[in-house]
Amino acid sequence: MTFRRITTYARMTAVGLAAISLLCGQVRIAEAKDGYAVVPTQIIYPGETVSASKIEEVAVTNPNLAGGYASSVHDVIGMVTTRTLLPGRTIPVSGLREPYAIKRGTNVRLTFAIGSMQISASGTPLADASIGDVIKVRNLDSGVIVSGTVMADGTVQVMAK
């Protein structure tokens, strides 16, 4: 056999085995992530939350495709888009953000702790924010604007000046 026939035969065998494995359900998705990309099945507009019904995983056939795109549906589901995503196009990771944990104008609990002393009050955030963001919040009791860090439980940890 010539070199060309051997490589063609090897390629056909690898593709055939992969197809048989997929049909039998023996290939786990985690093992087959290399060479996959997530693409929308419909237009997704900025500010929309990405759901499983709007996306699909496809094999990447272009070896010259630049990186920076989502390769797993688990990385994309639940994220919010910052730009319009078109059907059949890869989803850039830079075009996604975490959903906001705190919305502007809602009531939140402000907490301040020094040693064993803890103070809490009600406040209103002046901007939307994700977990870990530093935002300004108006204290509802005094009207003073303070800065704090958004915590995972939806509270704002106020900083000392």
The CATH number that applies at residue 75 is 3.90.1210.10
Residue 102 resides in a domain: no
**Each residue's pLDDT tens digit in the chain (161 positions)?**
444 444 444 444 444 444 444 444 433 333 334 588 899 999 999 999 999 999 999 988 877 777 889 988 998 999 999 999 999 999 999 999 999 999 999 999 999 998 899 999 999 999 999 999 999 999 999 999 999 999 999 999 998 76
The pLDDT of residue 159 is 84
How does strand 156-158 pair with strand 108-114?
A: parallel
The CATH number covering residue 150 comes to 2.30.30.760
Structure confidence at residue 62 (pLDDT): 79
Q: Do residues 68 and 119 both lie within one domain?
A: no
> What is the domain range of residue 48?
33-97
Task: Give CB contacts under 8 A, 24+ apart, made by 34-37.
Answer: 35/59, 35/60, 36/60, 36/71, 36/72, 37/65, 37/69, 37/70, 37/71, 37/90, 37/91
pLDDT at 66: 76
Per-residue pLDDT, 140: 94
DSSP string over 3-62: HHHHHHHHHHHHHHHHHHHHHHT-S-GGGG-TTEEEEESS-B-TTPBP-GGGEEEEE---
12 inside domain: yes
Residue 146 belongs to some domain of the structure: yes
Final residue before a domain boundary, out of 64, 97, 130: 97
Q: Within a domain: residue 103? A: no
Instruction: State the pLDDT at residue 32.
Output: 35
Amino acid 28: pLDDT: 34
Indicate whether 24 and 37 sit together in one domain.
no
Structurally, how many domains does the chain consist of?
3
79 and 45 within one domain: yes
